[in-house]
Protein backbone atom coordinates (compact mmCIF):
# COMPACT_ATOMS: atom_id res chain seq x y z
CA UNK A 1 0.00 0.00 0.00
CA UNK A 2 1.31 3.47 -0.90
CA UNK A 3 2.51 5.70 1.90
CA UNK A 4 0.21 8.73 2.25
CA UNK A 5 0.88 11.75 4.46
CA UNK A 6 -1.71 14.30 5.61
CA UNK A 7 -0.70 17.92 6.25
CA UNK A 8 -3.18 20.16 8.03
CA UNK A 9 -3.70 23.91 7.73
CA UNK A 10 -4.43 25.88 10.94
CA UNK A 11 -7.42 28.07 11.74
CA UNK A 12 -10.19 26.49 9.70
CA UNK A 13 -13.92 26.37 10.38
CA UNK A 14 -16.67 23.99 9.25
CA UNK A 15 -19.72 25.46 7.52
CA UNK A 16 -22.51 23.88 5.50
CA UNK A 17 -24.11 20.47 5.05
CA UNK A 18 -22.45 17.11 4.58
CA UNK A 19 -23.46 13.44 4.20
CA UNK A 20 -20.66 11.14 5.28
CA UNK A 21 -20.35 7.60 3.84
CA UNK A 22 -22.60 4.72 4.87
CA UNK A 23 -22.32 2.91 8.18
CA UNK A 24 -19.48 0.38 8.08
CA UNK A 25 -20.96 -2.02 10.63
CA UNK A 26 -24.24 -2.25 8.72
CA UNK A 27 -22.52 -2.51 5.33
CA UNK A 28 -20.52 -5.55 6.49
CA UNK A 29 -23.61 -7.21 7.90
CA UNK A 30 -25.75 -6.50 4.82
CA UNK A 31 -23.28 -8.48 2.70
CA UNK A 32 -23.02 -11.36 5.18
CA UNK A 33 -26.74 -11.80 5.83
CA UNK A 34 -27.80 -11.00 2.27
CA UNK A 35 -25.46 -13.71 1.00
CA UNK A 36 -26.97 -16.48 3.16
CA UNK A 37 -30.57 -15.30 2.72
CA UNK A 38 -33.03 -16.71 0.21
CA UNK A 39 -33.81 -14.26 -2.61
CA UNK A 40 -32.26 -10.97 -3.74
CA UNK A 41 -31.37 -8.30 -1.21
CA UNK A 42 -31.17 -4.69 -2.42
CA UNK A 43 -28.76 -2.44 -0.51
CA UNK A 44 -28.62 1.37 -0.70
CA UNK A 45 -26.04 3.56 1.04
CA UNK A 46 -23.36 0.83 1.04
CA UNK A 47 -19.94 1.97 2.25
CA UNK A 48 -17.68 1.52 -0.75
CA UNK A 49 -14.52 1.41 1.40
CA UNK A 50 -11.77 -1.18 1.37
CA UNK A 51 -12.97 -2.98 4.53
CA UNK A 52 -16.46 -3.62 3.20
CA UNK A 53 -15.17 -4.46 -0.27
CA UNK A 54 -13.02 -7.16 1.36
CA UNK A 55 -16.19 -8.69 2.83
CA UNK A 56 -17.92 -8.49 -0.55
CA UNK A 57 -15.00 -10.17 -2.32
CA UNK A 58 -14.94 -12.96 0.27
CA UNK A 59 -18.56 -13.87 -0.41
CA UNK A 60 -18.03 -13.67 -4.15
CA UNK A 61 -15.19 -16.15 -3.65
CA UNK A 62 -17.74 -18.42 -1.95
CA UNK A 63 -20.08 -18.35 -4.94
CA UNK A 64 -22.39 -15.43 -4.19
CA UNK A 65 -23.41 -13.19 -7.11
CA UNK A 66 -23.22 -9.56 -5.95
CA UNK A 67 -24.03 -6.87 -8.51
CA UNK A 68 -22.68 -3.35 -8.03
CA UNK A 69 -25.42 -1.14 -9.50
CA UNK A 70 -23.50 1.96 -8.39
CA UNK A 71 -20.76 2.76 -5.87
CA UNK A 72 -23.34 2.64 -3.06
CA UNK A 73 -26.06 0.32 -4.42
CA UNK A 74 -25.86 -3.48 -4.50
CA UNK A 75 -28.01 -6.44 -5.47
CA UNK A 76 -27.03 -9.53 -3.47
CA UNK A 77 -28.36 -12.80 -4.87
CA UNK A 78 -28.54 -14.93 -1.73
CA UNK A 79 -27.66 -18.62 -1.82
CA UNK A 80 -29.45 -19.65 1.37
CA UNK A 81 -28.06 -20.85 4.68
CA UNK A 82 -26.27 -23.85 3.19
CA UNK A 83 -25.43 -22.50 -0.26
CA UNK A 84 -21.93 -21.10 0.28
CA UNK A 85 -19.16 -22.95 -1.57
CA UNK A 86 -15.59 -23.64 -0.54
CA UNK A 87 -13.31 -20.78 -1.64
CA UNK A 88 -10.39 -21.71 -3.88
CA UNK A 89 -7.95 -19.54 -1.92
CA UNK A 90 -7.56 -17.76 1.40
CA UNK A 91 -10.13 -15.06 2.19
CA UNK A 92 -8.37 -11.70 2.64
CA UNK A 93 -10.06 -9.42 5.18
CA UNK A 94 -7.58 -6.61 4.59
CA UNK A 95 -7.56 -4.24 7.57
CA UNK A 96 -10.99 -5.19 8.93
CA UNK A 97 -11.18 -6.72 12.39
CA UNK A 98 -14.99 -6.59 12.21
CA UNK A 99 -15.04 -8.68 9.03
CA UNK A 100 -12.58 -11.26 10.36
CA UNK A 101 -14.34 -11.73 13.70
CA UNK A 102 -17.87 -11.94 12.29
CA UNK A 103 -16.77 -14.17 9.41
CA UNK A 104 -15.14 -16.54 11.92
CA UNK A 105 -18.53 -17.11 13.52
CA UNK A 106 -20.38 -17.51 10.23
CA UNK A 107 -17.79 -19.80 8.65
CA UNK A 108 -17.46 -22.07 11.70
CA UNK A 109 -20.80 -23.64 10.78
CA UNK A 110 -20.05 -24.34 7.11
CA UNK A 111 -19.41 -27.69 5.42
CA UNK A 112 -15.96 -26.68 4.18
CA UNK A 113 -12.62 -25.49 5.54
CA UNK A 114 -11.56 -21.87 5.09
CA UNK A 115 -8.65 -19.60 5.94
CA UNK A 116 -8.96 -15.92 6.89
CA UNK A 117 -5.96 -13.66 6.39
CA UNK A 118 -5.40 -9.91 6.73
CA UNK A 119 -2.92 -7.12 6.20
CA UNK A 120 0.10 -6.49 8.42
CA UNK A 121 -1.96 -4.66 11.05
CA UNK A 122 -4.80 -7.18 11.20
CA UNK A 123 -2.30 -10.04 11.39
CA UNK A 124 -1.14 -8.72 14.80
CA UNK A 125 -4.63 -8.64 16.33
CA UNK A 126 -5.56 -11.54 18.64
CA UNK A 127 -8.68 -13.54 17.78
CA UNK A 128 -8.86 -15.57 21.01
CA UNK A 129 -11.89 -13.66 22.30
CA UNK A 130 -13.84 -15.02 19.32
CA UNK A 131 -12.30 -18.48 19.19
CA UNK A 132 -12.93 -19.37 22.86
CA UNK A 133 -16.76 -19.30 22.75
CA UNK A 134 -16.87 -20.78 19.24
CA UNK A 135 -14.77 -23.74 20.40
CA UNK A 136 -17.32 -24.30 23.15
CA UNK A 137 -19.93 -24.61 20.40
CA UNK A 138 -17.85 -27.28 18.64
CA UNK A 139 -15.92 -25.13 16.18
CA UNK A 140 -12.40 -26.07 15.10
CA UNK A 141 -9.62 -23.51 14.61
CA UNK A 142 -5.89 -23.08 14.13
CA UNK A 143 -4.06 -19.77 14.52
CA UNK A 144 -0.58 -18.39 14.76
CA UNK A 145 0.99 -17.84 18.19
CA UNK A 146 -1.17 -15.73 20.49
CA UNK A 147 -4.34 -16.42 18.53
CA UNK A 148 -3.28 -14.23 15.63
CA UNK A 149 -4.19 -14.65 11.92
CA UNK A 150 -3.95 -16.48 9.58
CA UNK A 151 -7.02 -18.13 11.05
CA UNK A 152 -7.82 -21.64 9.81
CA UNK A 153 -11.47 -22.62 10.30
CA UNK A 154 -12.35 -26.31 10.20
CA UNK A 155 -15.69 -27.02 8.57
CA UNK A 156 -17.99 -30.04 8.85
CA UNK A 157 -18.50 -29.60 12.60
CA UNK A 158 -22.05 -29.75 13.91
CA UNK A 159 -22.20 -26.79 16.24
CA UNK A 160 -24.19 -26.94 19.45
CA UNK A 161 -26.00 -23.99 20.94
CA UNK A 162 -24.74 -22.76 24.29
CA UNK A 163 -24.98 -19.79 26.64
CA UNK A 164 -22.01 -17.42 26.72
CA UNK A 165 -21.39 -14.97 29.55
CA UNK A 166 -19.21 -12.34 27.89
CA UNK A 167 -16.42 -11.11 30.19
CA UNK A 168 -16.06 -7.83 28.25
CA UNK A 169 -18.80 -6.06 26.30
CA UNK A 170 -18.02 -6.46 22.59
CA UNK A 171 -20.42 -6.29 19.66
CA UNK A 172 -17.97 -8.23 17.50
CA UNK A 173 -17.82 -11.19 19.90
CA UNK A 174 -21.58 -11.15 20.43
CA UNK A 175 -22.23 -11.05 16.68
CA UNK A 176 -19.77 -13.86 15.93
CA UNK A 177 -21.46 -16.14 18.47
CA UNK A 178 -24.94 -15.30 17.16
CA UNK A 179 -23.89 -15.91 13.54
CA UNK A 180 -22.46 -19.29 14.54
CA UNK A 181 -25.71 -19.90 16.40
CA UNK A 182 -27.62 -19.75 13.11
CA UNK A 183 -25.92 -23.07 12.27
CA UNK A 184 -26.06 -24.66 15.75
CA UNK A 185 -28.42 -27.23 17.23
CA UNK A 186 -30.70 -25.64 19.79
CA UNK A 187 -30.56 -22.22 21.37
CA UNK A 188 -27.53 -19.94 21.41
CA UNK A 189 -27.57 -17.03 23.84
CA UNK A 190 -25.21 -14.28 24.91
CA UNK A 191 -25.25 -12.23 28.09
CA UNK A 192 -23.24 -9.02 27.83
CA UNK A 193 -21.98 -7.04 30.83
CA UNK A 194 -22.86 -3.75 29.14
CA UNK A 195 -24.91 -2.69 26.16
CA UNK A 196 -23.11 -2.89 22.80
CA UNK A 197 -24.21 -1.99 19.28
CA UNK A 198 -27.12 -4.13 18.18
CA UNK A 199 -26.94 -3.96 14.37
CA UNK A 200 -26.68 -7.75 14.08
CA UNK A 201 -29.87 -8.35 16.06
CA UNK A 202 -31.79 -5.64 14.21
CA UNK A 203 -30.66 -6.83 10.80
CA UNK A 204 -31.34 -10.50 11.55
CA UNK A 205 -34.89 -9.51 12.45
CA UNK A 206 -35.05 -7.51 9.22
CA UNK A 207 -34.24 -10.74 7.35
CA UNK A 208 -37.11 -12.47 9.17
CA UNK A 209 -35.04 -14.34 11.78
CA UNK A 210 -36.38 -14.33 15.34
CA UNK A 211 -33.94 -12.89 17.88
CA UNK A 212 -35.04 -12.50 21.50
CA UNK A 213 -33.73 -9.79 23.77
CA UNK A 214 -34.38 -9.76 27.52
CA UNK A 215 -33.14 -8.16 30.70
CA UNK A 216 -33.67 -4.71 32.13
CA UNK A 217 -31.11 -3.25 29.73
CA UNK A 218 -31.55 -5.74 26.91
CA UNK A 219 -28.38 -7.57 27.86
CA UNK A 220 -29.39 -11.16 27.07
CA UNK A 221 -29.75 -12.04 23.39
CA UNK A 222 -30.80 -15.45 22.08
CA UNK A 223 -31.81 -17.27 18.90
CA UNK A 224 -32.61 -20.80 17.76
CA UNK A 225 -30.43 -22.45 15.14
CA UNK A 226 -31.67 -24.01 11.93
CA UNK A 227 -33.92 -21.26 10.62
CA UNK A 228 -33.71 -19.33 7.38
CA UNK A 229 -33.20 -15.74 6.28
CA UNK A 230 -35.43 -14.08 3.69
CA UNK A 231 -34.06 -11.35 1.41
CA UNK A 232 -34.67 -7.77 2.50
CA UNK A 233 -34.16 -4.22 1.31
CA UNK A 234 -31.56 -2.31 3.34
CA UNK A 235 -31.02 1.46 3.43
CA UNK A 236 -27.69 2.03 5.18
CA UNK A 237 -27.60 5.38 7.04
CA UNK A 238 -24.53 7.60 7.22
CA UNK A 239 -21.94 6.23 9.66
CA UNK A 240 -21.96 7.96 13.06
CA UNK A 241 -18.30 6.94 13.51
CA UNK A 242 -17.38 8.95 10.40
CA UNK A 243 -19.74 11.76 11.41
CA UNK A 244 -17.98 11.96 14.79
CA UNK A 245 -14.89 13.56 13.26
CA UNK A 246 -16.98 16.46 12.01
CA UNK A 247 -18.99 16.70 15.23
CA UNK A 248 -15.76 17.33 17.08
CA UNK A 249 -14.38 19.55 14.32
CA UNK A 250 -17.42 21.85 14.31
CA UNK A 251 -17.37 21.95 18.13
CA UNK A 252 -13.73 23.02 18.46
CA UNK A 253 -13.34 25.32 15.42
CA UNK A 254 -14.59 28.88 16.01
CA UNK A 255 -17.58 30.18 14.05
CA UNK A 256 -18.56 26.71 12.79
CA UNK A 257 -22.13 25.69 11.92
CA UNK A 258 -22.38 22.26 10.31
CA UNK A 259 -25.25 19.88 9.58
CA UNK A 260 -24.52 16.18 9.05
CA UNK A 261 -27.33 14.56 7.08
CA UNK A 262 -29.11 11.19 7.52
CA UNK A 263 -26.81 9.89 10.26
CA UNK A 264 -27.61 6.61 12.02
CA UNK A 265 -28.43 7.34 15.67
CA UNK A 266 -28.88 3.77 16.88
CA UNK A 267 -28.96 4.13 20.70
CA UNK A 268 -26.11 1.61 21.02
CA UNK A 269 -23.88 3.95 18.96
CA UNK A 270 -24.63 7.44 20.29
CA UNK A 271 -22.08 7.51 23.09
CA UNK A 272 -20.06 10.12 21.18
CA UNK A 273 -23.05 12.50 21.19
CA UNK A 274 -23.64 11.93 24.90
CA UNK A 275 -19.96 12.47 25.76
CA UNK A 276 -19.67 15.64 23.67
CA UNK A 277 -22.85 17.04 25.23
CA UNK A 278 -21.42 16.36 28.70
CA UNK A 279 -18.39 18.38 27.57
CA UNK A 280 -20.68 21.26 26.61
CA UNK A 281 -21.03 20.73 22.87
CA UNK A 282 -23.88 22.46 21.01
CA UNK A 283 -25.42 19.45 19.22
CA UNK A 284 -29.03 19.20 18.06
CA UNK A 285 -30.85 16.31 16.37
CA UNK A 286 -33.24 17.31 13.59
CA UNK A 287 -35.52 15.44 11.17
CA UNK A 288 -35.52 12.25 13.26
CA UNK A 289 -37.08 9.21 11.55
CA UNK A 290 -36.76 5.45 11.30
CA UNK A 291 -35.46 3.82 8.10
CA UNK A 292 -35.37 0.05 7.77
CA UNK A 293 -35.54 -0.49 11.51
CA UNK A 294 -32.69 1.94 12.25
CA UNK A 295 -33.22 5.46 13.68
CA UNK A 296 -31.63 8.30 11.66
CA UNK A 297 -31.42 12.07 12.03
CA UNK A 298 -29.70 15.18 10.75
CA UNK A 299 -27.16 16.39 13.33
CA UNK A 300 -26.47 20.13 13.63
CA UNK A 301 -23.31 21.19 15.45
CA UNK A 302 -22.19 24.73 16.28
CA UNK A 303 -18.91 25.72 17.88
CA UNK A 304 -18.84 25.78 21.67
CA UNK A 305 -16.32 26.04 24.48
CA UNK A 306 -15.86 22.45 25.66
CA UNK A 307 -14.85 21.48 29.18
CA UNK A 308 -12.94 18.46 30.44
CA UNK A 309 -14.89 15.65 32.13
CA UNK A 310 -14.52 12.24 33.70
CA UNK A 311 -16.04 10.10 30.94
CA UNK A 312 -18.73 7.80 32.43
CA UNK A 313 -17.67 4.17 32.04
CA UNK A 314 -21.16 3.12 30.97
CA UNK A 315 -20.71 5.23 27.82
CA UNK A 316 -17.42 3.57 26.84
CA UNK A 317 -18.89 0.63 24.84
CA UNK A 318 -21.26 3.06 23.09
CA UNK A 319 -18.38 5.19 21.77
CA UNK A 320 -15.53 2.70 21.49
CA UNK A 321 -14.61 3.59 17.88
CA UNK A 322 -14.93 7.33 18.37
CA UNK A 323 -12.39 7.82 21.15
CA UNK A 324 -9.47 8.96 18.97
CA UNK A 325 -11.39 12.08 17.93
CA UNK A 326 -12.96 12.47 21.39
CA UNK A 327 -9.36 12.76 22.65
CA UNK A 328 -8.91 15.69 20.24
CA UNK A 329 -11.99 17.33 21.75
CA UNK A 330 -10.45 16.81 25.19
CA UNK A 331 -7.20 18.47 24.07
CA UNK A 332 -9.17 21.57 23.01
CA UNK A 333 -11.44 21.71 26.08
CA UNK A 334 -10.90 23.55 29.35
CA UNK A 335 -9.33 21.48 32.12
CA UNK A 336 -8.72 17.75 32.35
CA UNK A 337 -10.47 14.78 30.75
CA UNK A 338 -10.12 11.29 32.23
CA UNK A 339 -11.07 8.02 30.51
CA UNK A 340 -11.12 4.67 32.33
CA UNK A 341 -12.54 1.24 31.51
CA UNK A 342 -11.43 1.34 27.86
CA UNK A 343 -8.74 -1.37 27.70
CA UNK A 344 -10.33 -2.63 24.45
CA UNK A 345 -8.78 0.41 22.72
CA UNK A 346 -5.38 -1.22 23.09
CA UNK A 347 -6.30 -4.04 20.65
CA UNK A 348 -7.86 -2.04 17.82
CA UNK A 349 -6.12 -1.31 14.49
CA UNK A 350 -3.40 0.13 16.70
CA UNK A 351 -2.99 0.57 20.46
CA UNK A 352 -5.21 3.64 20.28
CA UNK A 353 -4.51 4.71 23.84
CA UNK A 354 -0.72 4.82 23.43
CA UNK A 355 -0.70 6.06 19.83
CA UNK A 356 -3.07 8.95 20.63
CA UNK A 357 -1.10 9.84 23.75
CA UNK A 358 2.14 9.90 21.76
CA UNK A 359 0.58 12.00 19.01
CA UNK A 360 -0.92 14.51 21.41
CA UNK A 361 2.38 14.82 23.26
CA UNK A 362 4.08 15.53 19.93
CA UNK A 363 1.59 18.37 19.38
CA UNK A 364 2.10 20.09 22.71
CA UNK A 365 -0.62 18.41 24.78
CA UNK A 366 -0.02 16.68 28.13
CA UNK A 367 -1.60 13.24 27.59
CA UNK A 368 -0.79 10.34 29.89
CA UNK A 369 -1.72 6.80 28.87
CA UNK A 370 -3.00 4.50 31.62
CA UNK A 371 -3.66 0.76 31.57
CA UNK A 372 -7.31 1.20 30.64
CA UNK A 373 -7.57 4.79 29.46
CA UNK A 374 -5.96 8.19 29.30
CA UNK A 375 -5.63 11.50 31.16
CA UNK A 376 -5.59 14.56 28.90
CA UNK A 377 -4.83 18.08 30.14
CA UNK A 378 -6.13 20.61 27.64
CA UNK A 379 -3.82 23.14 26.10
CA UNK A 380 -2.78 24.76 22.84
CA UNK A 381 -2.28 22.26 20.03
CA UNK A 382 0.97 23.06 18.26
CA UNK A 383 2.64 22.06 15.04
CA UNK A 384 3.97 18.54 15.20
CA UNK A 385 4.45 15.22 13.45
CA UNK A 386 2.25 12.24 14.25
CA UNK A 387 2.59 8.57 13.30
CA UNK A 388 -0.87 7.08 12.78
CA UNK A 389 0.57 3.52 12.72
CA UNK A 390 -1.68 2.81 9.75
CA UNK A 391 -4.81 3.40 11.84
CA UNK A 392 -7.49 5.24 9.85
CA UNK A 393 -9.20 6.73 12.90
CA UNK A 394 -5.93 8.09 14.32
CA UNK A 395 -5.13 9.73 10.97
CA UNK A 396 -8.55 11.41 10.66
CA UNK A 397 -8.56 12.48 14.32
CA UNK A 398 -5.34 14.44 13.90
CA UNK A 399 -6.61 15.90 10.62
CA UNK A 400 -9.46 17.36 12.71
CA UNK A 401 -6.93 18.54 15.32
CA UNK A 402 -5.47 20.81 12.63
CA UNK A 403 -8.52 23.05 12.97
CA UNK A 404 -7.32 24.21 16.42
CA UNK A 405 -3.54 23.91 16.04
CA UNK A 406 -1.34 26.99 15.74
CA UNK A 407 0.77 25.35 13.04
CA UNK A 408 0.93 22.49 10.58
CA UNK A 409 0.35 18.95 11.82
CA UNK A 410 1.98 16.26 9.66
CA UNK A 411 0.34 12.84 9.92
CA UNK A 412 2.21 9.86 8.50
CA UNK A 413 0.91 6.49 7.23
CA UNK A 414 -2.64 7.54 6.28
CA UNK A 415 -3.43 5.16 3.39
CA UNK A 416 -5.84 3.11 5.50
CA UNK A 417 -8.28 6.04 5.70
CA UNK A 418 -9.72 4.50 2.53
CA UNK A 419 -10.80 1.44 4.52
CA UNK A 420 -13.60 3.36 6.25
CA UNK A 421 -13.90 6.81 4.68
CA UNK A 422 -13.18 7.05 0.95
CA UNK A 423 -13.07 10.68 -0.26
CA UNK A 424 -12.35 11.97 3.26
CA UNK A 425 -10.11 14.74 1.89
CA UNK A 426 -12.59 15.94 -0.75
CA UNK A 427 -15.63 15.83 1.54
CA UNK A 428 -13.69 17.62 4.28
CA UNK A 429 -12.70 20.38 1.87
CA UNK A 430 -16.34 20.86 0.85
CA UNK A 431 -17.18 22.18 4.34
CA UNK A 432 -13.91 23.99 5.07
CA UNK A 433 -11.35 21.50 6.40
CA UNK A 434 -8.27 21.69 4.21
CA UNK A 435 -5.82 18.80 4.31
CA UNK A 436 -2.98 18.48 1.83
CA UNK A 437 -1.58 15.15 0.69
CA UNK A 438 2.16 14.69 1.03
Q: What is the spatial distance between Cα 43 and Cα 41, in angstroms, rounded to a whole number?
A: 6
Q: Prior bond to 436 cis, omega within 30?
A: no
Catalytic residue among 298, 321, 391, 413: 321
User: In terms of DSSP bridges, do strands 233-235 and 38-44 run parallel, antiparallel, or are they unpaired?
Assistant: parallel
Q: What is the spatial distance between Cα 350 and Cα 391, in angstroms, rounded to a whole number?
A: 6
Nearest to 328, CA basis, from 238, 423, 433: 433
Question: Residue 198 half-sphere exposure, CB side, CA atoms within 13 Å?
Answer: 26
- What are the C-alpha distances in Å from 183 to residues 160, 173, 225, 255? 8, 16, 5, 54
Cα 170-172-177 angle, rounded to 5 deg: 100
Task: Decide: 5 and 411 in contact? Cβ < 8 Å.
Answer: yes
Q: What is the spatial distance between Cα 171 and Cα 175, in angstroms, rounded to a whole number?
A: 6
Whether 282 is catalytic is no
Cross-strand bridge partners of residue 87: none
Query: Cβ neighbours of residue 89 under 8 Å, at least 6 residues apart?
Result: 61
Q: What is the spatial distance between Cα 34 and Cα 39, in angstroms, rounded to a whole number?
A: 8
Residues annotated catalytic, as ranges: 321
Amino acid sequence: MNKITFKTKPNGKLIGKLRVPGDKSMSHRSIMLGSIAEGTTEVKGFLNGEDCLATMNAFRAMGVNIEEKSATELSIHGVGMKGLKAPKSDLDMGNSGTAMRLMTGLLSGQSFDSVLIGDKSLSTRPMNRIIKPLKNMGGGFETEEGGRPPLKIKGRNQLKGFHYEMPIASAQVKSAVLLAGLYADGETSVTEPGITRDHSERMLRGFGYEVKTSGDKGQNISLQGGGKLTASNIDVPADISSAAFFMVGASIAKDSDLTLEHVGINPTRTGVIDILKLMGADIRLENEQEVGGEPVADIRIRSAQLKGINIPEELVPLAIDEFPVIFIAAACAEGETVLTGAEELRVKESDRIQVMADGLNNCGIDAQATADGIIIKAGQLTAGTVDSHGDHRIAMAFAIAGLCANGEIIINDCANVNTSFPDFIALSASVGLEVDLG
